[in-house]
Structure 1
């Protein structure tokens, strides 16, 4: 695929993922199309060398793995991204009435978004709904697939200071307009029931979120840019999976792709990076292949993880917010992230390993560190290491406006990210503790 092909494919992927539950469903469909077999966590697993498999947890996290043919001295090569983004979740009792005949949606922030970017946007609602079907209760994906809400700004005539100082109270200002009077209380759940073709009384619970309905787009006089909701971190989720599929099986290792939920709120859930999900999958793979506990521990000690989460590209209007020497740029390729207070899992050893992989495949790469007087954000690499400890490096696609509801990256960076991940999954990276490593043919 060309640079443009990958950029437009990412746009299509993002448009089909209005919630983390839809993201997992889309990734599952892509893996099934590529010949991967789905394994339920509640079933016994039968795994064979040369096999391709995936499993999900909570309908919002997914792990796929491709088993090599020659596993006498094997290890895992993992790339992990996350499928959630900062959004506003609709509360269990959805509606707020008034003033007058207005009907509004009561929402709560999920993650650390840039609040003002959500104002005056056409918003949809998506997530999962638990529905009674006879003696069973089943989880159904839901997407309004139309504009159903807006969070209106206050007119400047009513707040003359807003351009000098904008302060938003989430309980007052971030409340979504749902009806001007044509709908009455409980209309929100009635809308969902009608869209799903079920009775309102059969909806028992839901996890649904507002989402920006603006489509992802490649743009610019030279088509240099890609803007979309949820680039953090669906850009990396796309690049990592497509890289694994492009690489194909590596006969001496087990290639692993993970896309976790709940990174934006700390990852400490049953389906987050701090959960046992990755550990459980790797241990079950080891056991199903007839390997011992000793062999599992040796395999993990020789394994490697790419923690894939986007990086801050140098801002065109605020270059002073970035480190003078350690900054990354749009369309310059994947960035290797490092910070000395350890929010990232990168160190000299892991950085050298990834640089060697990229250099061997002639794939461009950049570096990113925060300014020394500014704290950066954390991500999932070190959190995952609390359960499965292995060498790892944090990498990401450079982007602008991280945590806005509409973010921007370089259109070429998508293909460059896929190239980097393909090189990673293709190589046979053999690690000797922290003494050294070898890229075997």
Structure 2
């Protein structure tokens, strides 16, 4: 199971260089599993079925059983499709001294040094003057070249990268006036450069996912935060049969790395819109909808931290999860994670049903804790929410690291969550 899961995860990551590609690859897999794609602008069917809807770089899928009543609860797996990195600015074709460079803006909180000296690509969507959207990717195309040690003898005593001055990737040689980066992307997408009215283009690592280490213990790839969870959620929802007691839901939001405050982010209305339309189709009153929400659950699946062998002092002394020993239950007293005691019990139940071991994660008191879509979902909908995830090293690096075993264990636990015994 682990080998096939990791191989499929590597393929999913390779097909998903941007949030828009991740949403469309998820859509492709859902359709292959018998899900029907819906249009947000159309009327939706109200009978039982397996359905999904895409909003920009986000996607929500659900399995609605026969005979569902208005107060039926939801069991939701929440994830996000975006990853830290860089995004093209307006007027992105730049350069100097005979070099062609891309003007990029930092997206989220990447480890800047990890992006140096890698073969990278541009990927995302182009939108035409008529509103049509076209996905595009370049393959290996650009690079952030590091300064040679001969020109900075003190670099190993401390590397400082200025995001504006030093993080301008090269993609060619020549005069800037004769180059057109957006025109190149348009040509790749099969449209005229003059038809491009807008774009959302990010930088992505092109190296394929790789299993390595003693007995193949490790898996490394880009964008594992949070495509590992998206992939696990897809596995869980496609395996979920129509269950009489609940509607199974898989939500993959965009823009988590920059705060989620968008129409396709977890702080926006996407999930509440979809749940409301499902409830409305069942003829639910507002009272019935709220009763259903009171019995609902959400597992917020996002990457977490494994103890780092070279920086153990940065971790809590009593809670030091190790990759390969199971996915994480993420806990924070300031509610940066939404887990509470009832959520911990529900997570323990799902893991026991799946036969999966799990670990607890809590931050060192001197190290600020990040957050997830979990608290946002709990706040917006009032649904009981639990924060979980696979432990990583090198989180927010261009290339992250996990155990080969933990992604499959996460998928098994999420499958059990959507199919409670």
Shared fold, TM over 0.5: yes
Distance 1:197 1:234 in 2: 28
Report the counterpart of residue 124 of structure 2 in structure 1. 127
Shift of 1:183: 6.8
Shift of 1:184: 4.6
SS of residue paired to 1:379: coil
Report the counterpart of residue 90 of structure 1 in structure 2. 88
Shift of 1:202: 1.2
SS of residue paired to 1:163: helix
The 1:347/1:198 distance shift into structure 2, 3 A limit, reads same
Report the counterpart of residue 175 of structure 1 in structure 2. 168
Distance 2:406 2:268 in 1: 31
Distance 2:183 2:132 in 1: 18
Shift of 1:386: 2.7
Distance 1:200 1:400 in 2: 41
Shift of 1:217: 1.3
Distance 1:317 1:109 in 2: 28
The 1:204/1:361 distance shift into structure 2, 3 A limit, reads closer
Distance 2:74 2:326 in 1: 25
TM-score by length of 2: 0.97
Report the counterpart of residue 205 of structure 1 in structure 2. 198
Q: Note if contact 1:336-1:368 (Cα within 8 Å) is conserved in structure 2.
A: yes
Report the counterpart of residue 230 of structure 2 in structure 1. 237
Report the counterpart of residue 152 of structure 2 in structure 1. 159
Q: 1:91-140: CA deviations, max 9, x gaps?
A: 11012231x222211110000000000111111110000124xxx33010
Q: 1:23-80: CA deviations, max 9, x gaps?
A: 000001111111111111111111213x1111111x2010001012243452000010
Report the counterpart of residue 264 of structure 2 in structure 1. 271
Is residue 411 of structure 2 the alignment partner of residue 413 of structure 1?
A: no
| Structure 1 runs not aligned, ≥5 long | 428-440
Q: Note if contact 2:300-2:388 (Cα within 8 Å) is conserved in structure 1.
A: yes
Distance 2:117 2:328 in 1: 33
TM-score by length of 1: 0.93
Shift of 1:404: 0.1
Is residue 135 of structure 2 the alignment partner of residue 137 of structure 1?
A: no
SS of residue paired to 2:329: strand
Report the counterpart of residue 245 of structure 2 in structure 1. 252
Deviates more, 1:29-38 or 1:240-249: 240-249
Distance 1:171 1:183 in 2: 18
Distance 2:178 2:104 in 1: 16
Q: Note if contact 2:374-2:386 (Cα within 8 Å) is conserved in structure 1.
A: yes
Q: 1:362-420: CA deviations, max 9, x gaps?
A: 22111100112211101101112232111111000011100000000001111111111
Shift of 1:241: 1.5
SS of residue paired to 2:158: coil
Report the counterpart of residue 108 of structure 1 in structure 2. 105
Equivalences for residues 33-432 of structure 1 within 5 A? 33-49=32-48, 51-57=49-55, 59-72=56-69, 74-98=72-96, 100-132=97-129, 136-145=130-139, 147-181=140-174, 184-427=177-420
SS of residue paired to 2:405: helix
Q: Note if contact 1:95-1:186 (Cα within 8 Å) is conserved in structure 2.
A: yes
SS of residue paired to 2:132: strand
Distance 2:146 2:239 in 1: 45
Q: 1:239-269: CA deviations, max 9, x gaps?
A: 1110222232222100000000000000011
Shift of 1:86: 0.5
The 1:361/1:212 distance shift into structure 2, 3 A limit, reads closer
Q: RMSD of the alignment, in Å?
A: 1.3
Distance 2:311 2:285 in 1: 54
Shift of 1:170: 0.7
Number of equivalent positions: 420
| Structure 2 runs not aligned, ≥5 long | none
Distance 2:95 2:390 in 1: 43
Distance 1:143 1:195 in 2: 8
SS of residue paired to 2:260: coil
Q: Note if contact 1:22-1:127 (Cα within 8 Å) is conserved in structure 2.
A: yes
Shift of 1:157: 1.4
Distance 2:246 2:148 in 1: 59
